Structures are given as structure tokens and as C-alpha cells.
Amino acid sequence: MSAKIIDGKIIAADLRARVAGEVARVKREHGLTPGLAVVLVGSDPASEVYVRTKAKQTEAAGMASFEYKLAADTPQTDLLALIAKLNADASVHGILVQLPLPAGLDSQAVINAIDPAKDVDGLNPINAGRLATGLPALTPCTPLGCIILAKTVHASLEGMNAVVIGRSNLVGRPLVQLLLNENATVTIAHSRTRDLAGICRQADLVLAAVGRPEMVKGSWIKPGATVIDVGINRIPGADGKSRLVGDVAYQEALEIAGAITPVPGGVGQMTVACLLVNTLRAACAIRRLQAPGV
């Protein structure tokens, strides 16, 4: 039997619509227009596409979008000065610095400089630490999207055996913390893990975030398990053009899993939608309003 396909496009559109509804309400009731500043350094084509999408969807949700495009050779001090200006700007509630930064810039120092209250990427060590200690925090957008997708299949993740493959600060590590908050039993696997196939076969929920095309094979999936594929890998196609694939061998897994996210059209759609959620939440928290209903 073929797995249920988790349609990230529809779920993300629904989430964006709910954010837009809440934005309209806080504008009407409190005169608050949430604002998101996105900083792009250099001209990496993939990053330019992401930044354009973020700006378009921010405006479509009724929020203010501020874009800063800096030259690849921008000095660290100039970038830090921009962050300080945005930290002090009352119309900016969220700050996102597109990663990776060009060589020569210190990403961690830049992330550390972002006001934790405006850190909509959830990458500042204050937010990462708050998440890890179970305190309320702004949390990274892609892991947040993974949890929302998993919960469209399972109303509760409590007690499930979840295997996270990958331990990056952007996805794997925060995903582990969010799953723990949902009372899942979490195994963290990575490039040095022994018998990854055997570990995956125990999982009710497989979340793959390694950045290796089609590494997780269909035979690694427990029949009926839910598969969330975070990978977005460009590989050469049979027709000479490139195509996008995830970290999971989709066609194989589709026959065995109970539910699965496609690539594209799965997790990728959720990241920007969750960025809008975080910007709205940050704006409400900064203005000391009740947390929004999304």
C-alpha cells in the first residue's frame, strides 16, 4: 500500500492564512504591524531566491518586510553595526541573517549579536539554551515545521520512537528538543552512528536532516512509519537537467511508510510559514501582548 503524502504546500498555506488573520487582529486591536528584517550578504543565487520568497510572503501576511542586501566583502564590523541598528529599531520585531555567510565573516558572532527577543531563527545561544531547558523560546523554523507536519498525522507524538538523523544547530539539535517537549522518545543519529538502518527500523517517526541525497533507503523504514524528509539536494537527472531529491529514497519509502513528506512540496514549504509565525510571536512578546493563537 502506498503511504499518505503529507502535503506541505497546503499545510503551509493554511498556516500563512492563520498568521495573516492574527496579524490583521493585532493591527486592528493594538496598532501593531509586525516587522521582519532579512539580511543577505553576498549574492548566492539560492539564498537570493529564499530571501525574495521570505519578503513576498511576509508582505502577503500583512507584515512589514525590510530587506538589507550587503556586498560579499562587507566587513564584520559593518554587519554588526547593522544588527545593532535593527536591534534598536522599534518597527523591527524579527531579524534573520541568511546563512551561510560569505567566507571571512564570523556567523556565530553575528548570531550572538541579534537581540534574543528578535531572533526569529532561534539560533542565538540564549534561545537554543531556553529550548534545551524547556523554557519558552523562539525556535528554529524548519524543526518547528517538521513538528507541525508530524502532528497532522499524529494528534500526539507522546511515547513515539522518533529517530532524528543529523545534529546541525539549524535543524537536528533543535528538532530533538522539540520532540522531547512533545514527549517522544528520541534517538539522535549522525554520520558516526553505527547500524543506522537497524536504528531507523525501530522508528515510528523518521526525521532525516543530513543533506545526503536519498541516503535513507526504503528497506530502513518500519512498515507504517511516518517519514519527515528535511533534505533538499540537487542531483543530475536522467534528462541532463538537475532535479531536487530529499535525504530519503522517496519512491522506495512511499511503498512502506504510513505517511511521508515529498521533496519538493514537504518541509521546505513550512520553513517560511514558521518564520512568519515566529515574527508574529516575537512582535506580540516585545509589545507584552498575549501570545497569538497560531
Q: Report CA-CA distances (Å) from 96 to 40, 168, 216.
A: 9, 18, 31
For residue 142, the minimal CB distance to ligand GUN (Å) is: 6
Does residue 99 touch ligand GUN according to CB under 6 A?
A: yes
Give the separation between CA 166 and CA 121, rounded to whole angstroms. 18
Which is catalytic among the residues 57, 98, 177, 269? 98
- Cβ partners under 8 Å of residue 180, min gap 6: 186
Residue 141 lies near ligand GUN (rule: CB under 6 A): yes
Look up 121 and say whether it is catalytic.
yes
Cα Rg of the chain (Å, integer): 19
- Using the minimum distance from each CB to ligand GUN, give the nearer residue, 139 or 226: 139
> Catalytic annotation on 69?
no
CB-based contact 176:186 (threshold 8 Å): yes
CA atoms within 13 A on the CB side of 23: 25
Shortest separation between residue 38's beta carbon and ligand GUN, angstroms: 8
From the list 115, 119, 121, 247, the catalytic residue is 121
Cell numbers that stand for 156 in this block: 500526539
How far from chain centre, in Å, is Cα 77?
Answer: 28
Q: Least distance from C-beta 1 to ligand GUN, angstroms?
A: 34
Q: Does the protein bind ligand GUN through residue 200 (CB under 6 A)?
A: no
Q: Per the structure block, which three cell numbers stand in for 252?
A: 522506495
Which is nearer to ligand GUN, 101 or 253 (by Cβ)? 101
Quick note: the x/- pattern for ligand GUN over 58-97, rule CB under 6 A, is: --------------------------------------xx
Containing H/E element for 86? helix 76-88
> So which residues are the catalytic ones?
54, 98, 121
Please report, as ranges, the residues that interact with ligand GUN according to CB under 6 A: 96-99, 121, 141-142, 170, 271
